[in-house]
Structure 1
Amino acid sequence: MTHTGPATPPAAHPPAPHPAALHTPAPHSGSRHRATVSVPGAELQKSAVLDDLTTAGTLRSGHTVAADWEGLHAAEDRWQERPVPVPGTQIDGCFPAATGLNTHHGWRHDAQFVLRLPDAWNGKLVVTAAPGIRRQYACDRIMADWLLARGYACATTDKGNSGPDFHSAGERPGDVLADWERRLAELAVAARATARAHYGAEPHRLYVAGVSNGGYATRVQLERHADLYDGGVDWEGPLWRAGGPNLLTHLPAFLAHYPRYRDTGDPAAHRRLLAAGLPAGSEFLWAAHHQVYWDFTQRTYRAVFDPDYPGPGLPSTGTPFAGAGTPGGDADYDYATRPAAVHEAVARVSLTGAIGRPLLSFHGTLDTLLPIALHSDAYAELVAGAGRAALHRQYRIEGGTHVDGFCDLHPGRLRPLTPVFRTVFRALEEWVENGVEPPAGRTVPWRDGVDDTDIRTW
């Protein structure tokens, strides 16, 4: 899809669809009949036997929500591996939760998940956590379709809180992100038990993978719950550290200096933006990120850890697009000088780098929301500092950005990362299952004359 008018960025936070978007389909008309298995610990659940578990089928049957994955993939599909129909069983459900931000199925209940069990099972399971503030179907197109076609059982959680009001979940600062860790581990244990009951055999491999916030959740799992997994793939996860870097240490600078650069082209403002972490060469992405990502992300994640910042009479999420000098404006937010309680809240969810299983990380060099130097390079250094470098590889993907949907807005200037996920995941399989060492961590160039989706030139 090529846009000839003003660029419209991909939807960062798509609205929840009406519950009718997830209707109950007609009974399956095929000859397959099997006993329904229950997901242990689930408060609500419903199962369906489907002719096709991939999005080609679930869009027709009402077992996915396209708004969850809107904008995450490039519309151009010459590099897509078209999956054949994958028959199997889908279980939608939720674990007990005190909040109800997720409206899917009309449940108004958080901690929702989807578990897909293909008939032609390869004996392995992948669990994921939704990126951003999206919900449990967010990984359907960019991950699950391909994994299901390869025989994997797949499970995804909404991380326990989702949507634009996700920051309101939890009772203490930092609870929101702490819940992500708990919910993904909860799903991994339950999905494994369900697969065992469904197939009559124990999954012989369990992998964890995720993009963006799902990448952070993947890192946390391999640091704190490594015994559950055989390995993981971290697709551009954010880094949270009490002493920085974290989102709150660089987004305020973007908000403070971008308007002047946009309006006047001021070289000093440009230098400050690069010094704050924005990658050189990503300037063509800045306008859309200022409009869609930076302001909302700063205000809502700041509200998770520091809801008192705006001051009396102001909402915890502050004032949208409040410029420098505006009372309570997030452009003036200074994380370093905030009270110790704020830093303690971030410390609760901080990463350590002490992974206990193999982890392959990849990140686009033109990521303009989570700059690679601050969130990926710094995490690789953290892993090395924890003495776990032998378990980790980091691939810096030249020309990649945070969301593949931007590839359609800027054809020829950005490289899709979805095919990179597939290559990296295969490398993880080879490492874990066959002892084949993956390529050394490096920057993967985007060369002239080389297929821009091929990173097998390692």
Structure 2
Amino acid sequence: MSRRWRPLVALVPALLTVGLLPAAAGASAAGPACEGQRLRVPGAERLISHCLADLTTAGLPLDLTSEVDYAQLQAKDAVNPSHVPGIQLDGYFPDTSATNTHHGWNHDSQFVIRLPEHWNGGLVVAGPPGTRRQYANDKIISDQVLARGFAYAATDKGNTGDELYKDGDEPGDAIMEWHMRVAQLTVAAKQVAAKHYGKAPTRTYAAGLSAAGYLVRWQLEHFPQLYTGGIDWNGLLLTRDAPNLLTNLPPALRAYPRLVKGEPGAAEALHAEGYPEGTEKLWKSHYYGLWDSLQRTIREELDPDYDGATQGGTPFCHEGTGAGCDTDYDYASRPAAVHDAVERVSLTGRISRPLITLQGTFDVLLPITRTGDVYDKMVNDAGRGDLHRYYRIENGTHTDGFYDLVPDVVRPMQPCFTAAFDDLVAWTTKGVTPPPSHTVPRSSDTTISGCTL
């Protein structure tokens, strides 16, 4: 049996039976605010529930959402829907890692499930972007879909924070757990919805931004039977061969300090690596806040031997430091075992359910020519192009929080996400074919509310 597939094969029985398992003995089935509501989440080790007048971020108490988790993912002036009454379930599945400290539980594989009072029969499941936790999508996804009548479920992916690579025994184990936890929650949330509403969801969608966009693609490639379709927003790309995340970031880590020093050719080097002209105002914030930390975290997870006994690399090490410095990392020269580890978590493009992909042309964390464009080609090469719509959002960047920093440079992508989600629903329920894949131009309207695909 291929090393790549052993972990997934071992988890299949759990995924197939989790819907039949009762909640663990001693799990709290209802909090004091929801007395009499005795819902159980199959397979959960711990569970609390609340009946709420509003499940959106406008009305949630802070212990049932987290501003830290969704900070800077949405433009500050975005207007979100509110007043969606229903039930919120918070809990966790059995796990051995403890990076998620929310609720004081110090336990990973935490989840949230929201069941609106006025349900349309659908379910949306999401993982968080980056190293965030289960509440990261509360503004950009949860609020939007709850207002449309969908139930919503989100997981912390089974490990969180910049040291997620400590979870697991082999390279790639932490990332492989992400996939299992999304599938596990999808199965469980369907069971909860069926119990609560008296019928199972008629349609289930996977949705996500960045790392969670990658999870959407994986789910539709490997567990399509669980979903009606998916929508991924600036999804990261992992493949055995270049380009992939580990080939995109080191050139930027080398070129930006040269730019700061005024060395000739530095800006041109960044442009050549896919960081477009016009995005220069974004480079400093990405260098200090994203490029270095993401490179070291993912590299440590997939290639821990590169820096020997050091864990997580050396922050902002100088070019020319040599072995162990992520600025000098050269994926192509790494041993075959490293490429095998990356292949284990790689995408194939072989989706089996409808997928809409959105990517900003000004994404300078995951440059579009190295990520979205490549995945679109992978899907077409796999013969699945009829299931895919790919919208390149002109001047969109990785997260909408950057719109507040440079509104003259980028546009918010949130309106395009909600428009695409509605198109996905119409596509999969009414047979209304979405517009062909294309680049969505930035209109003269620079508000944060409009997008027509």
Following superposition, the deviation at residue 160 of structure 1 comes to 0.7
- The structure 1 segments of at least 4 consecutive aligned residues displaced by more than 6 Å after TM superposition are none
Distance 2:302 2:159 in 1: 15
Q: What letter matches 2:76 in structure 1?
A: A
**1:21-170 paired onto structure 2 within 5 Å:** 27-28=32-33, 34-58=36-60, 60=61, 62-77=63-78, 80=79, 82-170=80-168
Q: Could you tell me which residue of structure 1 aligns to residue 299 of structure 2?
A: 302
Determine which of 339, 342, 347 is the counterpart of 2:335: 339
Could you tell me whether the CA contact under 8 Å between 2:163 and 2:312 is conserved in 1? no
Give the corresponding residue for 1:3: none
Distance 1:434 1:84, change over 3 A: same
The question of whether the paired residues in 2 share the 8 Å contact of 1:415 and 1:453 is answered with no
Cα-to-partner distance string for 1:105-145 (whole Å, 9 max, x where unaligned): 11111111000001111111000011110000000011101
Residue in structure 2 matched with residue 454 of structure 1 by the alignment: 450
Partner of 2:377: 381
* Structure 2 counterpart of 1:6: none
CA distance in 2, matches of 1:281, 1:289: 15
After TM superposition, the score normalised by the length of structure 1 is 0.90
Residue of structure 1 in register with 2:174 after alignment: 176
Question: Partner residue of 2:248?
Answer: 250
1:98 Cα deviation from its structure 2 partner: 1.3
Query: Quick one: distance in 1 between partners of 2:438 and 2:144?
Result: 25
Letter of the 1:41 counterpart: G
The residue type equivalent to 1:50 in the other structure is L
C-alpha displacement of 1:61: 5.7
Q: What is the rounded CA distance, in whole Å, between the counterparts of 2:87 and 2:31 in structure 1?
A: 14
436-445 vs 446-455, which deviates more? 446-455
Report the AA paired with residue 394 of structure 1.
Y
2:219 maps to amino acid: Q
Contact residue 101 and residue 107 of structure 2 kept, 8 A? yes
Q: 1:61 to 1:293 in 2, by over 3 A?
A: closer
1:84 Cα offset (Å): 3.3
Give the match for residue 22 of structure 2.
none
For residues 44 and 31 of structure 2, the distance between their equivalents in structure 1, rounded to whole angstroms, comes to: 24
Question: Counterparts of 1:268 and 1:26 in 2: how far apart (Å)?
Answer: 61
- State the AA in 2 paired with 1:302: R
Q: d(CA) in 1 for partners of 2:445 and 2:181?
A: 44
Larger mean CA deviation between 66-75 and 443-452 belongs to 443-452
What aligned pairs does 1:200-211 form with structure 2 within 5 A after superposition? Answer: 200-211=198-209
| Structure 1 residue ranges without an equivalent (≥5) | 1-24
CA–CA distance in structure 2, aligned partners of residues 340 and 45 of structure 1: 43
Q: How does 1:276-315 map to 2 (within 5 A)?
A: 276-311=273-308, 314-315=309-310
Contact 2:128/2:211, CA 8 A, preserved across alignment: yes
In structure 2, the residue corresponding to 1:55 is in which secondary structure?
Answer: coil
C-alpha displacement of 1:413: 2.1
* Residues 1:149 and 1:426: Cα distance change in structure 2 (over 3 Å): same
Give the conservation status (yes or no) of the 8 Å contact 2:278–2:409. no
CA distance in 1, matches of 2:444, 2:43: 52
Partner of 1:8: none
TM-score using structure 2 length: 0.91
User: How far 1:342 sits from its partner (Å)?
Assistant: 0.6
SS at match of 1:437: coil
Q: Distance in 2 between matches of 1:125 and 1:26?
A: 23
Is structure 2 residue 353 aligned with structure 1 residue 395? no
What is the one-letter code of the residue matched to 1:73?
Q
1:319 maps onto 2:317 in alignment: no
CA distance in 2, matches of 1:101, 1:27: 27
2:269 alignment counterpart: 272
Q: Take 1:450 and 1:243, find their aligned partners in 2: how far apart are those partners?
A: 38
Q: Which amino acid aligns with 2:328?
A: D
Q: Is the 8 A contact 2:208 2:233 kept in 1?
A: yes
2: CA distance, partners of 1:285 / 1:455: 23
SS in 1 for 2:49: strand
AA paired with 2:49?
A: S
Aligned-residue offset at 1:452: 6.3
Q: 1:400-452 CA distances to partner (integer Å, 9 max, x unpaired)?
A: 10011111111232111111110000000110011010000000001325766
Distance 2:62 2:348 in 1: 43
